[in-house]
Amino acid sequence: MLMGEIGTGVLIGATLGALALPLVWLAFGSLALGATVAIALTVASSAATAIGFLLPWFFARFGYDPALGSGPVATVIQDAFSLMSYILTASLLL
């Protein structure tokens, strides 16, 4: 199931990246910036789906309410990881 969720995240991220790349490239005139946004969107979407799948499972496994892992906790972790992926991708490509 996890691989299916990650595959869905990669597909969504790749689609968003494919849409964003030409728009960012045209708007800012930088292919590197467009590629940075596209790659970061793909990584962030993949990670967000994995986190959204695993956190409730971990919470249930350790005896806590799984709803706790699918609400604010998951959002904070996903946002932090997304920000880190954007910064890391930009530092490598720009």
Q: Residue 35: enclosing H or E segment and its boundaries? A: helix 31-61
Length of the chain counted residue by residue = 94
In terms of residue numbers, what domain contains 19?
A: 2-93
* CATH number of the domain encompassing residue 77: 1.10.357.20
Amino acid identity, position 64: Y
The pLDDT profile of the chain, 94 residues, written as one tens digit per residue, is: 778 878 888 899 899 999 999 999 999 999 999 999 999 989 988 888 888 888 888 888 998 888 877 788 888 998 999 899 999 989 998 8
pLDDT at 87: 93
pLDDT at position 4: 83
> Roughly how many angstroms between the first and final C-alpha of the chain, as a whole number?
36
For the whole model, what pTM was predicted? 0.81
For residue 18, the model assigns a pLDDT of 94
Give how many domains the chain has, as a whole number.
1
pLDDT at site 31: 94
